[in-house]
Amino acid sequence: MAVATVSLAIAGSACRSDLVVDGATNGLDLTALLGAWGTDGGLSGCDIDGDGVVGGSDLTILLGAWGDCPTSPLPWAEILQWNPPASIVTDPAIQSAVRSLDLPWLVRDWWAQIELVLVPPGSFLMGRSIGDQEGYSSELPRHWVTLTTPFYMGRTEVTQEQWSRVMPFNPSQSASDPDAATRPVENLSWNLAQQFCMATGMRFPTEAEWEYSCRAGTTGSRYGPLLDIAWYFDNAWQATRPVGLQAPNALGLHDSIGNVYEWVQDWYTPFTSDSVIDPTGAADGFDKVIRGGNHGSGSNMCRSSRRGTNSPAGASPGLGFRVARNALK
């Protein structure tokens, strides 16, 4: 069953203790915090430390930050929400990791108006999930990957509206459909999508970043029941759908599986069993990796570890992309 996206498009602040978002930590924020005392804070951000209840430690943080907020740590983006709500970022370990970074969880870039969520560093077992009977040999051998720095990942696939804010034409096959603006941009090559990235200061995620973000702490073949999380052969009727309608994963990312395949940065190369740190793939090659399955894919293609390939000059109505951006630059 499709799940409607919670709208979090509110004006942001450069400090997490600015609960009412007026550019300073002051009496208004204190009043908001005391009004939420003893609750989980909901979407208000009053649970500043992320321990699940608004209490004394949150009050200590607020009083310690009293005064004007500092300059935004992300000059390229508007801050939408500092703290990840437990209703969306459901994994306590991810909640804790995100909050420990002292960076905003949800932001929107100034150029294309793309919303991005913060992905904390960590380690995971990359490749075909243990027990996955639908996997392919290209997903083996499994190997440990460590990502050492946080990064931002697009909350959804890039939409046609976001693309058109930057690029002079829309290549999408569905561009004339009434809801085209909210559907993913598609029918574009890696080379063309790279032009968008260069114009906005974004980049493609690496293949490792993509799988790590898609899994969001899970170890199975998918991050949820397929009908709930993805538009694919059984429910999409051979057409892309507006982004963000299916259930997100535990990082708050939508449509990582299904809707359109997504370009990533890496040239395709076979996996090895070696543990790796911050891999970026081969220096060159013939085909780029695509990930995630699309609206016409069967269930076997719609898995966290599924790897596909396409020429960087190739395009398809079932192929789009999601952007990433370094968090510490």
Domain map (residue ranges) of the chain: 10-110, 118-326
Mean pLDDT of 106-113: 95
pLDDT for 3 equals 28
Reply yes or no on domain 10-110 having CATH 1.10.1330.10.
Answer: yes
Burial class (CB in 10 A: 0-12, 13-18, 19+), 33: buried
The pLDDT-based confidence of 7 (bands split at 50, 70, 90) is: very low
Residues facing 309 on adjacent strands: 289
* Pairing label, strands 261-267, 319-321: parallel
Cα–Cα nearest to 231, from 294, 155, 185: 294
Helix then strand then coil, % of the chain, to nearest 5: 20, 20, 60
Within the chain, where are the H helices? 27-35, 56-64, 92-99, 160-166, 190-200, 207-215, 226-229, 233-236
* Pairing label, strands 67-68, 24-25: antiparallel
Segment 176-198, tens digit of pLDDT: 999 999 999 999 999 999 999 99
The pLDDT-based confidence of 329 (bands split at 50, 70, 90) is: low
pLDDT for 20 equals 86
- Does residue 285 have a pLDDT over 90? yes
* Choice between 14 and 91, residue whose per-residue pLDDT is larger: 91
- Does residue 6 have a pLDDT over 90? no
The pLDDT-based confidence of 90 (bands split at 50, 70, 90) is: confident
Rounded to two decimals, the pTM is 0.86
Mean pLDDT of 130-151: 96
Residue with tokens 């069993």: 273
pLDDT for 2 equals 30
pLDDT for 134 equals 94
- Does residue 156 have a pLDDT over 80? yes
pLDDT for 47 equals 87
Mean pLDDT of 87-104: 90
* CA–CA separation, 88 and 55 (whole Å): 21
CATH of 118-326, one of 3.90.1580.10, 3.30.750.200, 3.40.228.10, 2.40.50.90: 3.90.1580.10
Segment 218-271, tens digit of pLDDT: 999 999 999 999 999 999 988 999 999 999 999 999 999 999 999 999 999 999
Compute CA distances 190 → 197, 225, 310, whole Å.
10, 30, 9
pLDDT for 42 equals 79
pLDDT for 13 equals 64
The pLDDT-based confidence of 10 (bands split at 50, 70, 90) is: very low
Segment 48-64, tens digit of pLDDT: 887 789 999 999 999 99
Mean pLDDT of 168-177: 96
pLDDT for 12 equals 53
